[in-house]
Structure 1
Amino acid sequence: MLARGSRSRSKTVPAPEEPHAQSQNARNARLGDRDPRSQFHGGTVNSVNTQESSQPIHRGYALHDSLVYAYASTFHSRDRNFSITIRSPGARQEHTGPYHAQQVPIFGLRDTIGGSVDLRVPPGVGTLVITMEGTLHYSSPSFSRKFQTQVANPLRHKHVFLSSSFVFLPGSSEYSTTNTSVTGHSYGSQQQKQNSSGGIGGAIKRALSGRKRKVSFAKVPEQHQAGYQMPTTQHIVRSFSFQIPARVNQEIPPSFYASVLSEGDGIRERASVESAEVEYKVTAVWESTTGRRNVVEAPFLFLPDPSYAAPRRPLQWSETPLIATRPVPFKCALCLPHPRTFTRESAITYSVTFATDPPSRSLARDIAAEATITVSFARQLLFDPSRGIRTSYSTAPTSSAATATSATTESSARSGSSWFGLKRTATTPSARSEANGAPRMLEKPLPAPPPEATTSEAKVLKSTVAHGFTRQRSKGSKHAKESSGGSASGPGILFQPDGIYKGKMDLSSEALPTITYGGANVKYVMTASVRFGSDELRVVADIKLVEPVARWERGESIRHGGTPSYP
């Protein structure tokens, strides 16, 4: 039996859990935030009280689920109210300033680029667009002088070869938000209630204090409305996942940056700097009906598998015949390693052979002494914005949202610059009253955008000119007999040569890799020609440049260098 002046304290003893429940709870505690359902889902992340577990829990609509990787990289906006979190199998620290480093995610060829977007904005209806973009930046003085009338910013050309976006429209089932508000009652009323509710204990406390405390209401104004609420803020969380689409005979370009000092040309022969960069990023744009626009970007690195790299040694050799404009009494061939794939830090070993047809020793001596051999290595650039890969997915609004708006995203290289915007079209067309009072619907189509210009450039990087063949073989030699049998170990596959010229062409470590994806084409060719008198034979062979295996293993193909970290 309790005394009159004492208070009873009750303690709730939790019910014993079953062994299976205990093991499940321990497993959840160990997993922590690695549960994919607690991080990546289309709805809002809400904290649920255990005492209200009987109520239905809204887990959100998993519109675009993504894999849960070991590394999480978060990018914030300037006001810290908008952020993107990307999960990746690897990450690297990139220096974005003298005293700041940002963890940048790294993805491979078969990885999923996924994460979540967290947004806190004032209440209102708006559209959220999440876009993954791959761009190629290229700047060259020769390129700017050639296309100065077609390109808006010729010094730095931007080509968007990949753009994929998710559009979250208001009024859809996936468009769910959580409003957080702060309720503020009257401060004076609250203080008076505390003073009056003290009872006997409050009276004894005031008597022992010796003086009466005066309550000041100068700092906090008194509100007589008990239900006063501060302005609300809506919390939006969306998950997303992207797949870089693969195309037949098209290899996705890796993240890359290079800058090289080119030789001067023209009268004054001024040297110039040429740079190129392949960049990937995820951009989230929130645009409300009131005109408020929030943007946050999250760059990431795309490094395909080392299988893209060139073989360490040539597997075999292949010969390509030179073509003549008219019938000539001799034939020539260009011999190159097979496959014709080289790293940017290596060198191309080649040879040019010739043979008389029909055989003539006197003609062979004349060709070996007087023929002119020219071998050049050139690069061809082609940017076609109309062939860029663009995909867009939008959420369908519900029937209750009669005036829901739709948004589409476009990201392209228009006249050398990128254009990104939201075009709004209401589903309910506007009406104008006629003279008789009947409404007339206005359906005026939007004007078509101007066509995007296609730009191209061809530049000879290296060239070699030789007079006469440096080596002549006898048809009765042992090597000639082996070559006539079609051996793939060197020259002499197509025919038994009467003369041979060997050469080696060093490549640049800052050269652009070969790209054929999404309207961006970076192509390398080797041209070989043999001129004898008024006759000329010529051939053009494609060359592929890739990253070296050592760079893939060390991860040194990016501008800032450093070794990527993998779990």
Structure 2
Amino acid sequence: MALAPPKRVRANTGSLAPPPSAFTFHPTHSNASTFRTLQLEVQLSSPSLKVGGPIRKPLPVYSDNDAIAGKISLENISYHSGRILLTVEGAFHHRLPKAQDEPVASGSFVPPRKHVFFSSTKLISVTNPEVASPRSVFRREGNILKRRPSVSSIEENKRALTPKRCYPFSFELPRGLRSGEELPATYPSTQFPSSPSVSTASHIEVSYRIVADWEPSDQQEQSSHLEIPFVIQPDAEFQCADATIPSDKMWLEMPLKSDRPIPVRCAMTLPTSMSFARSSSIPYFVVFTTTPRSPELAREIASDATISVSLIRQITVNEQASLPPTPPLTPTSDDSDGPSSARPKILRLVHKGSARFQRHRWPSDSSLALSHDKHETQSGLGTKHFSDLRTIHHDMSLGFPKRPRQQYDKKGNHPSLETIASLPDGLHKTRIPLSGDLLPSLDWRGLTVKYYLDVAVLLGPDDFRARVPIRIT
């Protein structure tokens, strides 16, 4: 009796079916960047790309209005269960040059300190995928292989039939609650030419990265670690050139204060916005008026006074024991450095002088070029403090070269005698150029960058001083 031919048995290929729609990655942007290790592959979708960083390849670029979206895939070599840890991190790296009197060891290298001001983590659980049984793997068109397969061949075929597992992810970038709390833009490292050597040179950097870690449940399987840098920069669509040009009609007048009563009043005027783009400049006036009016004293001051204006940058880092993943709430104190707390009057230089507001005098410091507070643990707070006070730009002028003149009004009429009499006796007008390399003003959890204009008018043994907070964007 003839035997019936064996039934044709096909290998179970159900595991090769595409993943469900919930695991399908739909890129939100046209630019895709791929980074991989032996076990992991990460694909990021971004609005644009920029070449830079230590890996010297195109890096994804995001603004603070974007979401970081992509997918992470496990290669077939990693088919066990485990977990994937995805972390988005923003860090501030800083290192200051040693003081001139501090000894510097030859060949010594001081790495920059790192302060993480933003961190967000996602956990992806990975289960062992359903693969074809070893018996069905070695069936070929109904003919069972007579040779017993080796363990290595079974493992290779099992991995070949295991689909690449893809997991989409998305991170929302945090937003500040008020002006000045925006996520800091990526800032490159800076080395000042005055530094004696690379080992002691200044280093300031704001960087972002995505860290992917594959941790298998089987301890015998190899884990994997992947770091991907990316760039945060302001959205160009929200940067309007007209918005960065201050009005030439509205100015804030801030008086300078002296230690003893002097029959002279000095003031500094700035645009009402008190905020300046790094691509622009800071226009300002310094004026003085004798009280009561004295032509002789006015001529002496106009020729002999010394005017000093410095742009000061202060960086403060408070390293906390635990890192909060979100930006801070609006502080309830220490708001005296903001422009809104100064409460200056909105005046035109041509208007009649009125009662000036009284402003707290900031303590002067003759050595503002560098102030370095080493990391010291504060008692009872569990924080480490770092501070850097540096002069970015300095202007010095001898005398007040001009006297303000009142312009004609819109109808072409001459100004009144009362208006002319209210004009200051002397005026110094100039502007401070800014640069795109400046670190912008920011106020994030444990990290603040503030700018001040330190103004001084020296009149022989007397002086008038003020420190005016401004914002640089």
TM-score by structure 1 length?
0.57
- The residue aligned with 2:30 is 70
Change (3 A) 1:153 1:133: farther
Give the Cα–Cα distance (whole angstroms) in 1 for the partners of residues 460 and 274 of structure 2: 31
Answer yes or no: is the 8 Å Cα contact 1:84–1:118 preserved in 2: yes
8 Å contact from structure 2 (residues 23, 166) kept in 1: no
Give 1:438's aligned residue: none
Letter matched to residue 127 of structure 1 = R
The answer to whether 1:350 aligns with 2:306 is no
Task: Return the match for 1:517 from 433, 444, 452.
Answer: 444
1:509 to 1:110, Cα distance in 2 relative to 1, 3 A: closer
1:280 positional shift: 1.9
- The 3 A distance-change label for structure 1 pair 528 and 82 is same
1:364 to 2:312 alignment: no
Give the direction of change, closer, same or farther, for the CA distance of 1:153–1:237 in structure 2 (3 Å limit).
farther
Report the equivalent of 1:28: none
Change (3 A) 1:337 1:526: same
Distance 1:180 1:383, change over 3 A: farther
Q: Does 1:502 align with 2:429?
A: yes
Ranges in structure 1 where 5+ consecutive residues have no aligned partner: 1-44, 50-56, 196-216, 392-414, 417-449, 487-491, 547-567
Change (3 A) 1:297 1:95: closer
Residue 553 of structure 1 is matched in structure 2 by none
Q: Which amino acid aligns with 1:230?
A: E
> Following TM superposition, by how much is the alpha carbon of 1:510 offset from its aligned partner in structure 2, in angstroms?
2.7
User: 2:155 matched to 1:230?
Assistant: yes
Provide the identity percentage.
25
Question: What is the deviation of 1:388?
Answer: 5.6
Question: Which is higher, the Rg of structure 1 or of structure 2?
Answer: 1
Provide the rounded CA distance (Å) in 1 between the counterparts of 2:426 and 2:279: 30
Give the whole-Å Cα distance in 1 for the aligned partners of 2:170 and 2:417: 55
Aligned length: 386
> Within 2, Cα distance between the matches of 1:507 and 1:119?
48
1:116 aligned onto 2:71: yes
How far is the alpha carbon of 1:389 from its aligned partner? 4.5
Read off the aligned partner of 2:469 and give its amino acid letter.
D
Please give the secondary structure, in 2, of the residue aligned with 1:238: strand
Question: Are 1:472 and 1:499, in contact at CA under 8 Å, matched by a contact in 2?
Answer: yes
Match of 1:277 in 2: 205
Residue in 2 aligned with 1:471? 402
For the Cα contact (< 8 Å) 2:88–2:211, is it kept in 1? yes
Instruction: Mark the CA change 1:95 to 1:166 in structure 2 (over 3 Å): closer, same or farther.
Output: closer
Residue identity in the other structure for 1:456? S
Separation in structure 2 between the aligned mates of residue 83 and residue 483 of structure 1, nearest angstrom: 78
CA 1:304 to 1:324, structure 2 compared with 1: closer, same or farther past 3 Å? same
In the aligned structure 1, how far is the partner of 2:280 from the partner of 2:98? 26
Change (3 A) 1:123 1:351: same
> Is residue 178 from structure 1 mapped to residue 110 from structure 2 by the alignment?
no
Name the amino acid aligned to 2:186.
S
RMSD over equivalenced CA pairs, Å: 4.5
Contact 1:182 1:230 (C-alpha < 8 Å) held by counterparts: no
Q: Partner residue of 1:340?
A: 274
Q: Report runs of 4+ in structure 1 exceeding 6 Å deviation.
A: 143-146, 184-187, 189-192, 269-272, 476-480, 482-486
2:302 aligns to what SS in structure 1? helix
1:104 alignment counterpart? 59
Name the counterpart of 1:445.
none
Asked if the contact 1:113/1:242 (under 8 Å) is kept, the reply is yes
SS in 2 for 1:262: coil
Match of 2:214 in 1: 286
Residue 456 of structure 1 aligns with which residue?
A: 387
Q: Normalising by structure 2, what TM-score?
A: 0.67
Quote how far apart the aligned CAs of 1:377 are.
1.4
AA partner of residue 136 (structure 1)? F
CA distance in structure 2 between the partners assigned to 1:271 and 1:464 by the alignment: 31
- 1:176 to 1:347, Cα distance in 2 relative to 1, 3 A: same
Q: Structure 1 residue aligned with 2:311, among 350, 353, 377?
A: 377
The residue correspondences of 1:369-408 to structure 2 (distance < 5 A) are: 369-386=303-320, 389-390=324-325
1:366 & 1:319 partners in 2: Cα distance?
A: 23
Structure 2: where are the runs of 5+ without partners? 1-13, 327-373, 376-380
- Counterpart Cα distance in 1 of 2:217 and 2:117: 31
1:230 is displaced (CA, Å) by: 2.4
Q: Tell me the secondary structure at the aligned position of residue 328 of structure 1.
A: coil
Q: Aligned residue for 2:112?
A: 156
1:256 match: secondary structure: coil
- Give the aligned partner of residue 314 of structure 1: 246
Deviation by residue 1:214-270 (Cα, 9 ceiling, x = unmatched): xxx9xxxx42899x94275575432211111111221222223253543368xxx99
Q: Is the 8 A contact 1:352 1:501 kept in 2?
A: yes
| C-alpha distance in 1 between matches for 2:300 and 2:263 | 12
- Select the residue among 239, 243, 264 that pairs with 1:330: 264
CA distance in 2, matches of 1:60, 1:144: 61
The CA deviation at 1:370 is: 3.3
In structure 2, the CA distance between the partners of 1:153 and 1:545, relative to structure 1 (3 Å rule), is: farther
Q: Deviations over 1:138-175 (max 9, x none)?
A: 344248999x9xxx98542322221111123x5xxxx5
Q: Give the 3 Å change call, closer, same or farther, for CA 238–455 of structure 1 in structure 2.
A: same
Deviations 1:272-305 (A, max 9, x none): 8544332222211122345543111222222222
CA distance in 2, matches of 1:346, 1:225: 72
Rate the CA distance shift 1:354–1:483 in 2: closer, same or farther, 3 A: farther
Following the alignment from structure 1 to structure 2, what is the Cα–Cα distance between the partners of residues 469 and 347? 21
